[in-house]
Structure 1
Amino acid sequence: MRKEAKHLYQKAIDSLTLSIELFNRPNDCGRIHGVLIFMNHSFEMLLKASIIHKGGKIKEKGAKETIGFGACVRKGFSDNTIKFLSDTDVLTLQTINGLRDAAQHYTLEMSEQYLYFQAQAGLTLFRDIAKKVFNIDLKTQLPVRVLPLSTTPPMDIQAFFSTEVQEIKKLLAPKSRKKLEATEKLRALAIMENAIQGNESQPSDTELKALAKRLSKATNWGQLFPSVSTLSFTQNGYGPSLDLRITKSEGVPVTVVPEGTPGAGVVAIKRVNELDFYNLGRDQLAKKLGLTGPKTTAAVKHFGIKDDPECFKHLKVGNVPFDRYSQKAIEKIKEGLKTKTIEEIWNER
């Protein structure tokens, strides 16, 4: 491991240990925001260490400071030369970062169940990245006792959100005088919903008021948090070896968009129409590349375009099948042609 990466990795371990230590403390003073702040910092250090270890850069040319959390996630997910994050990893990271932002800059109320889910899912993801990138088994670097523990057993996400929504409804009841507490709990749930949609911004007061108003009329929490309703938690093992991962039941499709795209989050936006994303046929792709159809087909095969789900998808409209390419296929082929000409590819057929 490079010296800089090793130093950052150790910082990540230090913050992770403090996060878990705060989770397990019997005193609630500063516990929630302490857990989130240190866990978020541990991931930023881990992501930067991973990027450096895989040959990437964490400082833009001429910049005085290193890239931030969002840019680290973006590199780890969308940079094909160093990619080490999956779309579900991104959801976990976005949620933790959003909760940390609210806890550090304003107020946030989380139930023990919700904090447990985030802490355990975070620990599992840290363990996964450490193994994938550095081939390090996390249990060799932490005392076996340093793991999140909870006095209340975890429930599945459906039961959890249903319970949380019912609790918020009680807090919002007439004469309860607990509107602020209800808003803080609602903010925590809204942050997760926003993260799944790829929206890194905090929910505004206006949005939370509207959500609270809808909550009183909703009969199903899925109406309020439609994206969360597509998720589930997978749990393996027990005790010190417990793994908890956020997974997508129905799938929340993600796509990489240029940084700064209006309305886009850190990495992902919801793909509403597949044909809008995979908007090129073979001949349209050829025209964009300035190649003949047959030479485009040769390039597609040579550069493995059909193996990249961000570049290609076989779609059906009714019963008619279509091979469709995205704009990313153009970029990938053009980049490949810088190292090998189309004539060389054509002659090697």
Structure 2
Amino acid sequence: MTAAFNAVDEEGRTSSVLLSLQHSFEMLLKAALVHNNVPVFDKNLGRSIGFEKCLQLARQEKGVKLTEAEAGTLRAIDALRDDEQHWFNSVSEPILFIHARAGVTLFDDLLLRVFDERLADSLPVRVLPISTEPPMGLEILIDQEFRQIRDLLQPGRRARNEARARIRTLLAIEGHASEESLVSEKDVDRVENGIAEGKPRGSVFPALEQISTDFSGEGPTLAVRIDKKGPPVKFAADDQDAAAIRQIDLQKTFHWSATDLANKLGLSLPKSIALRQHLGVDMDQKCYYVFEMGSQKHPRFSDNALTRMRDSLKSIDMDNVWAAHKPLGRGKTPRQCSVEGCARSEG
């Protein structure tokens, strides 16, 4: 009975830490967006935007400059918090510590970048996350967790529930390397089956192979930053063997309409279309996707499209691009584009 109460108490502390960490970042991101004159109130819903929308806007806003690695850390913290609150989950103390410490590091980085303040100016160092054990890289912790899951799934162990709880944690950590961090039961089932079949970690958790950890300082001044490394994960075709294929919500990835994209870039819709044609955005699978609903087709664009177009505007001659790509009358021969890097010319 005592062990059961201790387990419940430990889970409660873990949930409290993750909930507080995630909520603190939501408030910080909203403050940073408001500081840069970005609205955080959704008039249609009649309430403020949620964590995921804050993350999207913070990545796009120049005054916040949230990097992909930083966004990955926040996605992982959010996914861990979500699973800890709504599912039976198991987050080991070392994994909790490294994410808490990485969260504190990132909070300090954002506070300095946006508001020119340091976290230590408001919090004494004695309250920052400190562990009695030397910190280990996330790669080592992931390997340890994988071995434990594999052992728990051995025949006769009767520890399947604990194994699945640990699988959920590793899937949540994939948020460091993948824009889709929502964990589904189908994901857990596929991973469990893959491990039970004896497949290696790299086959079961391919996204985790990309994660690396950087440590600097020590004790209260320890800084932890988690980043991606190596080549990106490849998408598997339907006929290819893959132990764990994440169910990706394409509507979250491709969430910009053509009009939204133009408004965000400060261009008219026709000029935005001309720029897309020049860059070949509509031919890039990472930028463009068409949702089909019956006979209707709805093209949508990802943050990659917004980034490519916004970056190009810093150096491109938009007047020349418009002159070469603006709509033609019927029967007229397409114009030649003299602007360097034109996708139509290269094609």
Query: Structure 2 length normalisation: TM-score?
Result: 0.66
State how far apart, in whole Å, the 2-side matches of 1:185 and 1:176 are.
Answer: 15
> How far 1:83 moved relative to its partner?
3.9
Residue 149 of structure 1 aligns with an amino acid whose one-letter code is I
Q: Which moved more, 1:240-249 or 1:172-181?
A: 172-181
The answer as to 2:96 corresponding to 1:109 is no
1:133-212 equivalence runs, <5 A: 133-194=114-175, 196-204=177-185, 206-212=186-192
> Judging changes above 3 Å, is the alpha-carbon distance between structure 1 residues 147 and 341 closer, same or farther for their aligned structure 2 residues?
closer
Change (3 A) 1:267 1:73: farther
Q: Once the 2 structures are TM-superposed, how far is the Cα of residue 252 of structure 1 from its aligned partner?
A: 4.5
**Aligned equivalents of 2:307, 2:226: Cα separation in 1:** 29
AA in 1 matched with 2:206: P
Q: In 2, Cα distance between the equivalents of 1:341 and 1:226?
A: 40
Q: Trace 1:219-234 onto structure 2 (pairs within 5 A).
A: 220-234=200-214
Unaligned runs of 5+ in 2: 1-8, 234-247, 256-269, 280-285, 288-303, 324-347
Q: How does 1:25-40 map to 2 (within 5 A)?
A: 28=10, 30-40=12-22
Q: What residue number does 1:13 align with?
A: none
Specify the SS of the correspondent of 2:16.
helix
217, 227, 237: which one aligns with 1:237: 217
- Structure 1 runs (4+) greater than 6 angstroms displaced: 333-336
Aligned residue among 73, 76, 82 for 2:55: 73
Secondary structure of 1:145's match? helix
The match for 2:81 is 100
Contact kept, 8 Å, 2:164 with 2:188, in 1: the verdict is yes
Amino acid in structure 1 at the alignment position of 2:16:
G
Q: What letter is aligned with 1:289?
A: A
Contact persistence 2:139–2:213 (CA under 8 A): no
Cα distance 1:175–1:72, how it changes in 2: closer, same or farther (>3 A)? same
Preserved CA contact (<8 Å) 1:74 1:267? no
> 2:72, 2:177 within 8 Å by CA — same for their partners in 1?
yes
Any gaps of 5 or more consecutive residues in structure 1?
1-26, 254-260, 269-284, 298-309, 312-325
What's the RMSD between the two structures over aligned residues?
Answer: 3.6
Is the Cα contact below 8 Å between 1:236 and 1:243 reproduced in 2?
yes
Name the aligned partner's letter for residue 192 of structure 2. Answer: A
- Could you say which residue in structure 2 is the equivalent of 1:289? 274
Report deviation, 1:224: 1.4
- Structure 2 CA distance for partners of 1:329 and 1:115, relative to 1, 3 Å: closer
**Letter of the 1:60 counterpart:** D
Q: 1:342 and 2:327 equivalent? A: no
- Name the structure 2 match of 1:257: none
In structure 2, the CA distance between the partners of 1:264 and 1:235, relative to structure 1 (3 Å rule), is farther
Give the Å deviation of 1:334: 11
Query: Which digits, 9 at most, give the CA deviation of each residue in 1:58-113, with x for residues without a partner?
Result: 01345410000000000000234x44200001100101111111111222101111
Q: Secondary structure at the match of 2:163?
A: helix
- Greater shift, 156-165 or 210-219, is seen at 210-219
Structure 2 CA distance for partners of 1:141 and 1:83, relative to 1, 3 Å: closer
Alpha-carbon distance in structure 2 between the residues aligned to 1:132 and 1:342: 34
1:169, CA displacement in angstroms? Answer: 1.4
1:166-217: CA deviation from partner (whole Å, max 9, x where unpaired): 111121122222111111011000112255221132221x321221121133
CA contact (8 A) 2:101 2:224 kept: yes
Q: Which residue does the alignment assign to 2:46? A: 64
Are 1:71 and 1:266, in contact at CA under 8 Å, matched by a contact in 2?
no
Change (3 A) 1:84 1:112: same
Distance 2:118 2:79 in 1: 28
Percentage of identical aligned residues: 29
Is the 8 Å Cα contact of residues 232 and 246 (structure 1) preserved in structure 2? yes
Structure 1 residues 264 and 83: alpha-carbon distance in aligned structure 2, compared to 1, 3 A threshold: farther
Match of 1:67, as an amino acid?
Answer: I
Note if contact 2:177-2:211 (Cα within 8 Å) is conserved in structure 1.
no
